[in-house]
DNA sequence: CGAGTCGTTGAACGGAATCAATCGTCGTGG
DNA sequence: CCACGACGATTGATTCCGTTCAACGACTCG
């Protein structure tokens, strides 16, 4: 993600922060002063509906950056919480913006990254337009799999994937089992292999 | 959107193209050479699932740009079709990239735009995580309404909004009627006023 | 004036959410 | 070091609500 770009910039080293489990790094509405990258563990980005239900927006794993979009926003637009103990690097927004002004190539690269993210988000949105849980899961797997090996190594909990797909986790398990039973996929633990590219 | 930025750049004027109804401007996989802005009518961005069903990604109205994400992509990732007769301005990718290199401020502004789009897409994704059709529609209206007047002037067909919200259009009409019946909103034609900010 | 599409409402069906219960595992603290 | 608690993974039964099919009026555009 952005993290390699961040480190290529000759700015002051990021502040390293340890976050305890369930501790929140920032909350929606907090003034946005930093962009983050996960060093250990993972960070969940969520929003809360007015009825108190949490909506999972994204899970940033080790090596990934998050809150990049906050670079041009005065405040954070979601909550960042660690559900396990995590370590993150905090880069100062000012520093980054300054670096962008110094070097147009870097600004351009950043723009390219955001573009890719836009496309990724569009793809996610596209997935949501698939009614059938089974088809939705299957398309997700197709998307995540490397095109040649047709294998997916799910990095996070199935439960979180369910949330990202907008499905109840029970439904996810069920349909995953059904797909396996029907010989469409095979899996051991968190490694899933796609056997048929059509459903 | 991007259109004002595009026009501020001192590059060769865009090529104006008239698109007939149902004609497609580009297809998924076509080499991406242009970024577009709608002058008249509107353009639908769609993808097709392998079962042939169309998934609506976005509707770009007059004054809006689209396919900005293609700036850093070799090919288009979706189809652009006009469902009514439309006129679009086509800006050459090369020109834009060149302008970005010339003027870092412009590149930065572009990056900012993409960031905002990321946040907007995240918001849409968040909407999709709301199960209840009624709550989903209500949150959508809250989001679209200007914060002070609490009024929404829907620019496109309700049918398209339904698609954007991931709902069958029948459900949308029904729940909209229910919301009105319950005194949560009032509407005349395409103008909707929110009467209660909670549901 | 006719075709096509949007807007609208009704009825029935189906599938995903929800509630519920169990097992395994991992981390933690006494 | 082990017991306990928390949470992920899994499967079953039931409920509910959104989709789908169907039908009709209104409106627009050719």
Closest CA to B5 of B121, B89, B124, B126: B89
Query: What DSSP string describes A80-104?
Result: EEESS-EEEEEEEHHHHHHHHHH-H
Q: A120-133 in b/e burial notation, b at 16+ Cβ within 10 A?
A: ebbbbbbbbbbeeb
What is the model's pLDDT at position A119?
A: 87
Partners of B122 on chain A (C-beta within 8 Å) are 57-58, 69, 77-78, 121
Tell me which of B109 and A175 has the higher pLDDT.
Answer: A175
**Tokens (6 digits) for B171:** 């459900």
Closest CA to A38 of A52, A12, A10, A58: A58
Instruction: Give the residue with minimal CA–C1' separation from D19.
Output: B168
pLDDT in tens, A14-26: 899 988 888 889 9
* Optimal mutation site among A67, A68, A108, A141, interface B, most CBs of chain B within 10 A: A108
A112 at B interface, C-beta within 8 A: yes
Pair B142, B179: CB distance under 8 Å? no
What is the model's pLDDT at position B108?
A: 86
Closest CA to B45 of B31, B61, B34: B61
Q: Which of residues 6-45 of B touch A (CB under 8 A)?
A: none
Give CA A17 to chain center in angstroms: 20
Q: Determine whether the interchain pair A166/B69 forms a contact, defined as Cβ–Cβ distance below 8 Å.
A: no
What is the phi/psi pair of residue B3, to 5°? -60, -40
- Across the interface, of B97, B104, B117, the residue whose CB is closest to A118 is B117
DSSP 8-state class, residue B13: P
Tell me which of B165 and A148 has the higher pLDDT.
Answer: B165
Spatial separation of the C-alpha atoms in residues B144 and B2, rounded to whole Å:
20
pLDDT in tens, A154-168: 888 999 999 999 999
Partners of B128 on chain A (C-beta within 8 Å) are 125, 128, 166
What is the model's pLDDT at position B1?
A: 56
- Across the interface, of A51, A112, A135, the residue whose CB is closest to B72 is A112
The pTM assigned to this predicted structure is 0.86
What is the model's pLDDT at position A2?
A: 62
Residues 6+ apart with CB under 8 A from B9: B95, B96, B99, B106
Q: How crowded is the C-beta side of B154, counted as CA atoms within 13 Å?
A: 21
Closest CA to B118 of A77, A129, A46, A86: A77
Spatial separation of the C-alpha atoms in residues B122 and A118, rounded to whole Å:
9
**Greatest CA separation for chain B:** 57
Q: Name the helix (H) or strand (E) containing A26.
A: strand A24-26
Q: Of the ranges A54-68, A172-186, B172-186, which one carries the lowest mean pLDDT score?
A: A54-68
What is the model's pLDDT at position A177?
A: 95
Please, what is the average pLDDT of chain A? 87
Residues whose CB is below 7 A of strand C: A 85, 131-134, 166-168, 170-171, 175; B 83, 131, 157-159, 169-170, 173-174, 176-177, 190
Instruction: Give the residue with minimal CA–C1' separation from D10.
Output: A173
What is the model's pLDDT at position A174?
A: 96
A56 burial via Cβ count (<10 Å: 0-12, 13-18, 19+) = buried
What is the interface size between A and B, counted as CB pairs within 8 Å?
A: 130
pLDDT of A194 above 80? yes
Spatial separation of the C-alpha atoms in residues A92 and A33, rounded to whole Å:
6
Question: How many angstroms separate the CA of A167 from the C1' of C15?
Answer: 12
A151 at B interface, C-beta within 8 A: no
- Helix (H, G, I), strand (E, B), or coil: what is residue A34? strand
Tell me which of A149 and A76 has the higher pLDDT.
Answer: A76
Pair A11, A99: CB distance under 8 Å? yes
Instruction: Give the residue with minimal CA–C1' separation from C17.
Output: A168
Task: Give the confidence band of A50 by pLDDT, cuts at 50, 70, 90.
Answer: low
A189 burial via Cβ count (<10 Å: 0-12, 13-18, 19+) = exposed
What is the model's pLDDT at position A185?
A: 94
Pair B18, B87: CB distance under 8 Å? yes
pLDDT in tens, A26-40: 999 999 999 998 888
Rounded to a whole number of angstroms, the distance from the CA of A13 to the nearest CA of chain B is 22
B2 at A interface, C-beta within 8 A: no
Q: Could you give the residue ranges of the DSSP H alpha helices within chain B?
A: 3-8, 93-102, 104-128, 133-144, 158-165, 169-181
Spatial separation of the C-alpha atoms in residues A156 and A39, rounded to whole Å:
16
What is the model's pLDDT at position A1?
A: 57
Question: How many angstroms separate the CA of B199 from the C1' of C21?
Answer: 34
- Helix (H, G, I), strand (E, B), or coil: what is residue A38? strand
What is the model's pLDDT at position B31?
A: 97
Q: What percent of chain A has pLDDT over 90?
A: 35
Contacts 24+ apart (CB under 8 A), A138-142: A138/A179, A138/A184, A138/A199, A139/B49, A140/A165, A141/A185, A141/A192, A141/A194, A142/A194, A142/A197
What is the model's pLDDT at position A181?
A: 93
pLDDT of A102 above 90? no
Q: What is the mean pLDDT of each run of 10 residues along chain B (199 residues)?
A: 66 85 90 92 81 76 85 91 88 89 85 88 89 94 88 89 94 96 90 86
């Amino acid at each position: 993600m952005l993290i390699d770009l961040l480190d290529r910039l000759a700015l002051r080293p990021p502040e390293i922060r340890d976050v305890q489990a369930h501790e929140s790094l920032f909350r929606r509405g907090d003034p946005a002063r930093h962009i983050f990258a996960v060093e250990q563990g993972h960070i969940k980005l969520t929003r809360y509906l007015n009825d108190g239900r949490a909506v999972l927006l994204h899970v940033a794993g080790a090596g990934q950056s998050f809150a990049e979009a906050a670079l041009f926003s005065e405040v954070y637009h979601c909550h960042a919480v660690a559900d396990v103990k995590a370590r993150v690097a905090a880069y100062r927004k000012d520093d980054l913006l300054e670096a962008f002004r110094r070097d147009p190539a870097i600004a351009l690269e950043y723009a390219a990254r955001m573009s890719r993210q836009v496309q990724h988000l569009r793809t996610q949105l596209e997935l949501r337009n698939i009614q059938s849980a089974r088809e939705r899961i299957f398309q997700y797997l197709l998307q995540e799999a490397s095109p040649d090996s047709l294998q997916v190594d799910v990095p996070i909990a199935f439960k979180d994937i369910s949330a990202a797909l907008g499905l109840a986790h029970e439904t996810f398990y069920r349909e995953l089992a059904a797909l396996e039973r029907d010989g469409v996929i095979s899996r051991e633990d968190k490694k899933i292999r796609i056997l048929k590219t059509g459903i």
